[in-house]
């Protein structure tokens, strides 16, 4: 059985208790402070423009200080006024003016604008007005400097806004003085983005804040799993309780790594009942979701791959911000969660019997509109165990022969010898799960990249790939 043919169930039972997706959302800490803000269109508009309001300050700090204040004083004054008006709109009149600093700030902006307009639109040619002009200019510069220092003091707030924009509508933990791209999938499983340092900490989780969170909430009872093959960090931040599972971005883990990972998690979780795991890749979505769902199946919290994938997506997505799905989207990653379900249920958490395949041909269906539309501009790469074992260039008929079939709207690539992400489409599969004497067909929705609806103007409904192979004894 594969993940595509798994029966749906409404409730899930496990050693951690029985619960449904709806119940789990109530039981698990969502990391949100209680708020009395009504869910109105006015409130949603305020939330939408809040990041742009903060961005104004960032643009000013980066550029306007390099320009002469005298030449752009009027522009800056209006800029300040717009900034204050937008802040009043976003925060609300009463909330904004409840702060003494905000009142002083607004007064500075208004006075600055008045002084600037008097200087810009009044005839000051009379000698008797020169002393007043000098006084006005000095006041103007002082007021602008006060305003600049106030903007600079809001650096931390700007960083928070930047991180929220990067994390999009992933569920964040925003309680108890924390604001992190971090989600409790269950009470004992945490999904998060990469704990970063340096410049990356400006838009991703700062590693020191992540460590402070874990030490505050789960001191001496957490283990971190880093799924990024491309980068790591000093494990001392997490008291050297860090495990590595090397998975390339947008790719899948090996079956061996999946089994080693679940064995490690089982041992850690069984050691003490309050032990937790924190899992991350770069964005805390694809690779993270793959391995979280693998553990949910292994621990009997879900019986099927599809159930676990649906549940992870529900927990990771903050629908109060946007309906954009933040679960596992890549078909190959979902396919490998299905593989683990089979290994657990049919092979007792052991590797399935190995099968070796000889690929005879690759057939691409409904290729019209993809590139030149005849396959002549395609390149093919086959990677086995992270090693490139074959590649061909269709334009040169190098290592392959290309037979366009315009009548059937397909391209047939054959003559493969024995011996991506920057690409239009790709897919991962394991030969052990290919049935004997059957071609492997993958539809548009089962291919990585064409599965996205935004690409369907190029990849039509009948687009797909068929592998014709033979098994080697």
* Catalytic residue annotation: 281
Q: Which of 201, 158, 202 is nearest to 53 (CA)?
A: 158
Sign of CA dihedral 289, 293, 296, 302: positive
Cβ contacts of 121 within 8 Å, gap of 6 or more = none
183: left (phi over 0), alpha (psi -120 to 50) or beta: beta
Measured distance CA(23)–CA(27) in Å, rounded? 6
Contact 427, 421 (CB under 8 A): no
Query: CA neighbours within 13 Å on the CB side: how many for 286?
Result: 17
Query: CA neighbours within 13 Å on the CB side: how many for 390?
Result: 18
């Amino acid at each position: 059985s594969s993940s595509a043919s798994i029966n749906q169930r409404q409730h899930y039972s496990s050693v951690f208790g029985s619960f449904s997706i709806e119940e789990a959302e109530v039981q698990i800490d969502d990391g949100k402070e209680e708020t009395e803000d009504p869910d109105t269109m006015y409130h949603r508009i305020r939330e939408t423009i809040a990041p742009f309001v903060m961005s104004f300050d960032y643009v000013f700090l980066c550029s306007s200080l390099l320009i002469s204040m005298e030449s752009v004083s009027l522009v800056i004054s209006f800029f300040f006024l717009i900034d204050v008006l937008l802040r009043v709109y976003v925060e609300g009149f009463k909330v904004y003016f409840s702060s003494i600093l905000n009142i002083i700030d607004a007064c500075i902006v208004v006075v600055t604008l008045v002084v600037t307009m008097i200087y810009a639109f009044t005839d000051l040619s009379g000698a008797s007005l020169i002393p007043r002009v000098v006084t006005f200019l000095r006041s103007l510069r002082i007021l602008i400097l006060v305003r600049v220092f106030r903007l600079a003091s809001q650096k931390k707030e700007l960083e928070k806004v930047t991180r929220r924009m990067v994390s999009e509508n992933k569920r964040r933990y925003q309680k108890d003085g924390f604001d992190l791209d971090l989600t409790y999938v269950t009470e004992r499983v945490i999904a998060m983005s990469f704990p970063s340092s340096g410049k990356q900490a400006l838009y991703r989780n700062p590693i020191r804040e992540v460590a402070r969170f874990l030490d505050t909430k789960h001191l001496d009872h957490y283990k971190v799993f880093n799924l990024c093959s491309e980068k790591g960090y000093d494990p001392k931040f997490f008291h050297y309780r860090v495990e590595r599972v090397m998975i390339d971005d947008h790719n899948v883990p090996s079956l061996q790594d999946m089994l080693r990972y679940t064995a490690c998690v089982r041992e850690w979780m069984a050691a003490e009942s309050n032990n937790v795991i924190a899992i991350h890749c770069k964005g805390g979505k694809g690779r993270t979701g793959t391995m979280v769902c693998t553990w949910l199946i292994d621990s009997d919290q879900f019986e099927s791959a599809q159930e676990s994938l649906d549940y992870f997506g529900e927990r990771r997505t903050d629908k109060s911000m946007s309906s954009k799905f933040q679960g596992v989207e890549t078909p190959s990653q979902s396919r490998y969660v299905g593989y683990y379900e089979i290994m657990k249920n049919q092979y007792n958490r052991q590797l399935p019997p190995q099968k070796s395949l000889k690929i005879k041909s690759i057939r691409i269906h409904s290729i019209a509109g993809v590139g030149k539309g005849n396959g002549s501009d395609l390149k093919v790469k086959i990677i086995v165990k992270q090693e490139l074992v074959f590649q061909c260039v269709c334009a040169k008929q190098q290592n392959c022969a290309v037979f366009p079939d315009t009548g059937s709207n397909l391209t047939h690539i054959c003559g493969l010898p024995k011996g991506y992400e920057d690409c239009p489409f790709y897919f991962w599969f394991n030969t052990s799960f290919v049935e004997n004497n059957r071609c492997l067909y993958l539809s548009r929705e089962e291919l990585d990249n064409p599965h996205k609806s935004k690409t369907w103007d190029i990849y039509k409904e009948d687009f797909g790939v068929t592998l014709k192979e033979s098994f080697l004894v």
